[in-house]
Amino acid sequence: MTRQDVLVTAEELACELAGPRPPVLLDVRWALGAPHGGAAYRAGHLPGAVFVDLETELAAPPTPAAGRHPLPAPADLQAAARRWGVRDGDRVVAYDAVGGTSAARVWWLLRWAGLADIRLLDGGLTAWRDGGLPLETGEVRPAEGDVVLPLVASGRPGMPTVDADGAAAWPAAGVLLDARAGERFRGEVEPVDPRAGHVPGARSAPTTDNLTPAGTFRPAAELAARFAALGVDGAAPVAVYCGSGVTAAHEVAALASLGLPAALYPGSWSQWSADPARPAATGGE
């Protein structure tokens, strides 16, 4: 993948929306502590955008054994994509109001399910507004789509994952990145999961450091330098986790924009910390 495969600017998207077959727009308004973005969506969203509920459409029900946001069943994801109006051959663009850190969940899921033409609006809703581009209110209910997700048809995922055992072993031969805030990695606070700390051997790489103060992805050279400092230079395999597999997807997207593949640990810390047999490291960076 390249940066153009992962991101689209507001100006570029506006041109595509004026074309003969505009992309399907997905509004993924969600944030930790504010998971219900429907009201914000209805108050103002990109023209034609469909609201996507991260809690119910982009995750299976939570359990201690699987974490707070387990991967949805492929057939359930396909049914959701059809509700969003996605048809075979459609381009898809996802956005949010938090720099892509929640929209990256649907970006990753649809790529995991085998769709290649899914991008993130760089800078999200803020970039669109700052460009003087229009919003609309209310709710969009598209006609049912007919997309067939390749994962449903073949059973072969398009993006790699790792389980808890794989995450435990990963640092011995590769780089395991923890995309949560530094204070959570160090075990100083833990607002939502059973225990504080991190997977032993992981390196702290907060997702927010992928972004500029304006909420856009940092330039490629800056991102490359950031990840190189963490030991990610293409020489060793990379895996990423976070609290529940949401913001880690943003880190996977940032790496993908540099042509660096990375596996995602979907259960992440919410699954790991619920298992008393799994060790929790603290401190470090």
Catalytic residue list: 242
Q: How far apart are CA 100 and CA 136, in angstroms?
A: 20
Q: How far apart are CA 119 and CA 108, in angstroms?
A: 10
**Taking a C-beta distance cutoff of 8 angstroms, is the pair 179, 248 a contact?**
yes
Tokens read off for 198: 């991190």
Backbone CA torsion sign across 46, 49, 53, 54: negative
**Bridge partners of residue 217, in order along the sequence:** 211
**Taking a C-beta distance cutoff of 8 angstroms, is the pair 128, 96 a contact?**
no
Q: How far apart are CA 61 and CA 172, in angstroms?
A: 32
Q: How far apart are CA 183 and CA 269, in angstroms?
A: 14
Q: What is the DSSP letter of 172?
A: G
